[in-house]
């Protein structure tokens, strides 16, 4: 009798396993709700294999765990053998973790190339490699950053350099803003990068702990034309333009620029209604000394105060 019950238990167990396995689907069809990156691993810092446009269809073949995005660590592997966060696809009326197979423990691993660098200038670290992309962090000169990958594909050329570097702040800096060019033979290519917006791609879990601050509500000058190249290139329109240690006439002169000399600007300062610009020589010139009007002619020329640490005590 005991053996008969044992045999019955084995049969029921087999039937249960067959039934359970039958519920696991080979794939689930869905579509990207927002433009989203499909990555080589389920981590925000991993490089991209491709990206999906909003509304583009895809098939999820298995699930895994990765970077927490909006409170959710669930990522999906697609038929293209890359990973998207569940947050970026349409809501599924079911449970991926029961309806799809688990991709395996190895799928959760993060593989990155890393290289240290230091910023030479004040730098906007952007969610994608163009000055039209949202700023994630405002980083001061001499800030140490860690680079993870590089790209020169469809990027914003800064002065004469198309290369941008992704950092462990989970945002991109222009190579021109670094003290020296990194050896990209030691870094991965970032892969295809779409235009992204912080509105849909804010990473709440803090892969950007170092120097990361949410862009604040400071208002920028209204641009007249949207054709900036950051760092911004202007020319002196007076016989001399004095570059001072601080943005006031009373401040000591650090450097003197001559008529029609080319100058590169980092950011803007409004001193009692008079606009000044900090140059790459780390001194300030009145904007009225230039042929151009940097506070009006250029798109997203940042305010210098954005690069200051709000918690830093005034000296």
CB 16, CB 24: distance < 8 Å: no
Helix (H), strand (E), coil (C) string for 216-272: CCCCCCCCCCCCCCCCEEEEECCCEEEEECCCCCCCCEEEEEECCCEEEEEEEEEEC
Query: What per-residue confidence (pLDDT) applies to 151?
Result: 98
Residues 79 and 121 in one domain: no
143 found inside a domain: yes
CB 147, CB 114: distance < 8 Å: yes
285 found inside a domain: yes
Residues 37 and 97 in one domain: yes
Q: In what order do the strands lie in the sheet with 240-244?
A: 232-235, 262-271, 274-279, 284-286, 240-244, 253-258
Residues 299 and 244 in one domain: yes
Residues 187 and 131 in one domain: yes
225 found inside a domain: no
Please report, rounded to a whole number, the percentage of residues in the chain having pLDDT higher than 90.
67
189 found inside a domain: yes
Distance CA 299, CA 152 (A): 21
Residues 63 and 100 in one domain: yes
Domain ranges, residue 44: 24-108
Query: What per-residue confidence (pLDDT) applies to 159?
Result: 87
169 found inside a domain: yes
Residues 61 and 121 in one domain: no
210 found inside a domain: no
Residues 173 and 130 in one domain: yes
Residues 275 and 303 in one domain: yes
pLDDT one-digit tens code per residue, 68-122: 888 889 999 999 999 999 999 999 999 999 999 999 999 999 989 999 999 999 9
User: Which residues, given as ranges, of the chain have pLDDT below 70?
Assistant: 1-22, 202-230, 297-300, 310-315
Count of the separate structural domains present in the chain: 3
Query: What per-residue confidence (pLDDT) applies to 49?
Result: 98
**Residue carrying the six token digits 């433009």:** 35
CB 287, CB 278: distance < 8 Å: no
| Predicted structure pTM score | 0.80
**How would you label 284-302 residue by residue, b for 16+ Cβ within 10 Å and e otherwise?**
bbbbebbebebbebbbbbb
Residues 250 and 301 in one domain: yes
47 found inside a domain: yes
18 found inside a domain: no
pLDDT one-digit tens code per residue, 239-255: 999 999 999 999 999 99
Looking at 60, 87, 108, the residue that finishes a domain is 108
CA 174 vs CA 21, 120, 166: distances in Å: 50, 11, 9
Looking at 90, 108, 126, the residue that finishes a domain is 108
Question: Counting beta carbons within 10 angstroms of the beta carbon of residue 86, is it exposed (0 to 12), middle (13 to 18) or buried (19 or more)?
Answer: buried
Residues 150 and 90 in one domain: no
């Amino acid at each position: 009798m005991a053996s008969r019950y044992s045999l019955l238990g084995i049969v029921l167990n087999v039937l249960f396993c067959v039934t359970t396995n039958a519920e696991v689907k080979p794939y689930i069809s869905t579509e990207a709700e927002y433009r989203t990156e499909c990555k080589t691993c389920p981590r925000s810092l991993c490089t991209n294999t491709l990206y999906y446009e909003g509304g583009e269809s895809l098939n999820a073949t298995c699930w895994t765990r990765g970077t927490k995005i909006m409170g959710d660590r669930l990522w999906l592997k697609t038929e293209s053998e890359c990973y998207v966060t569940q947050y970026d696809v349409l809501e599924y009326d079911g449970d991926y973790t029961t309806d799809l197979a688990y991709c395996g423990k190895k799928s959760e691993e993060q593989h990155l190339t890393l290289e240290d660098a230091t910023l030479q200038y004040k730098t906007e670290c952007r969610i994608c490699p163009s000055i039209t992309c949202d700023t994630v962090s405002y980083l001061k000169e001499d800030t140490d950053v860690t680079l993870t990958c590089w790209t020169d594909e469809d990027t914003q050329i800064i002065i004469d350099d198309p290369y941008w570097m992704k950092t462990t702040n989970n945002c991109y800096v222009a190579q021109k803003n670094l003290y020296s060019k990194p050896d990209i033979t030691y870094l991965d290519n970032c892969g295809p990068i779409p235009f992204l917006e912080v509105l849909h791609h804010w990473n709440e879990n803090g892969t950007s702990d170092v120097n990361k601050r949410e862009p604040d509500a400071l208002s920028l000058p209204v641009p007249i034309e949207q054709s900036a190249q950051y760092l911004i290139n202007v020319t002196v329109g007076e016989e001399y333009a004095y570059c001072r240690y601080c943005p006031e006439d009373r401040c000591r002169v650090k450097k003197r620029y001559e008529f029609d000399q080319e100058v590169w600007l980092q950011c803007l300062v409004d001193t009692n209604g008079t606009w000044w610009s900090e140059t790459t020589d780390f001194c300030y010139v009145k904007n009225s000394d230039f042929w151009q009007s940097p506070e009006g002619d250029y798109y997203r020329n940042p305010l210098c105060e954005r690069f200051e640490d709000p918690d830093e005590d005034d000296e």
